[in-house]
């Protein structure tokens, strides 16, 4: 698995963001999305991303004596299962979260650049809310969330419907000023 520090380079992060938006692309197609980056620089950074396991080569074909490779983000980094996440090291978890976060940045940038954003009309929201909850209360929250989301997942494109993306991130916070360490509360 890759190290998250590989993604700290702005060009490598942009490459991953570009590939997160599609299934697979050649270096030439990535260059079309990033014309400000010299093609030789893209080849070098993409090779580094492959060597660290962030990208993988899907196919390769010969064109006029040169090899053209098609790349994608390593599928294990995109939507890992709970079991896959549990088996990762701390560094691997940070890498996966960095890839996930870069996808969020890419999605929001695409929204902002697609026209005149109207966050209220489009129901765009991003916020954080700290709360105290037991493990059972968090489990009930997720059941309620999935209960509300499940009917929407079966919707198809239609009049008045716009494709939307819901992203959730829930992490425990270490709190030293709280009333003790009851079940489900982070220790401080």
Domain boundaries, the chain: 1-119, 127-188
How far apart CA 42 and CA 55 sit, in angstroms, is 13
How far apart CA 43 and CA 40 sit, in angstroms, is 5
Question: Topology of 1-119 in CATH?
Answer: Arc Repressor Mutant, subunit A (1.10.10)
How far apart CA 26 and CA 70 sit, in angstroms, is 4
Catalogue the long-range contacts made by 133-138 (C-beta closer than 8 Å, 24 or more residues apart).
Answer: 133/184, 134/182, 134/183, 134/184, 134/185, 135/183, 135/184, 136/183, 136/184, 137/184, 138/170, 138/184
- Going by C-beta distance under 8 Å and a sequence separation of 6 or more, which residues neighbour residue 32? none
pLDDT tens readout for residues 104-155: 887 888 889 888 999 999 999 888 889 999 999 999 999 999 999 999 989 9
Looking at residue 181, its pLDDT comes to: 46
Burial of 166 (0-12, 13-18, 19+ CB in 10 A): exposed
Q: For residue 125, give the DSSP letter.
A: -
How far apart CA 99 and CA 148 sit, in angstroms, is 27
Looking at residue 186, its pLDDT comes to: 39
Note down pLDDT in tens along the chain; length 188 residues.
456 678 778 888 889 888 886 889 999 999 998 999 999 999 999 999 999 888 999 999 888 888 899 999 888 776 677 887 888 888 878 877 887 888 788 788 888 988 899 999 999 988 888 999 999 999 999 999 999 999 998 999 998 999 888 888 888 887 665 554 444 443 33
3-state secondary structure at position 175? coil
């Amino acid at each position: 698995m890759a190290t998250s520090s590989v993604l700290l380079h702005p060009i490598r992060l942009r490459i991953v963001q570009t590939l997160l938006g599609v299934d697979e692309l050649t270096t030439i197609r990535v260059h079309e999305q990033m014309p400000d980056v010299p093609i030789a620089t893209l080849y070098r950074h993409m090779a580094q991303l492959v060597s660290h396991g962030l990208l993988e080569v899907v196919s390769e074909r010969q064109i006029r004596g040169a090899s053209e490779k098609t790349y994608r983000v390593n599928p294990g980094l995109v939507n890992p299962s709970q079991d896959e996440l549990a088996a990762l090291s701390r560094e691997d978890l940070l890498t996966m979260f960095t890839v996930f976060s870069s996808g969020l940045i890419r999605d929001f940038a695409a929204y902002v650049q697609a026209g005149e954003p109207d966050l209220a009309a489009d129901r765009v929201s991003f916020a954080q809310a700290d709360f105290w909850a037991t493990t059972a209360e968090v489990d009930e929250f997720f059941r309620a969330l999935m209960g509300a989301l499940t009917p929407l997942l079966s919707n198809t494109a239609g009049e008045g419907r716009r494709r939307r993306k819901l992203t959730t991130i829930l992490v425990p916070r270490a709190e030293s000023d709280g009333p003790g360490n009851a079940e489900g509360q982070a220790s401080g």
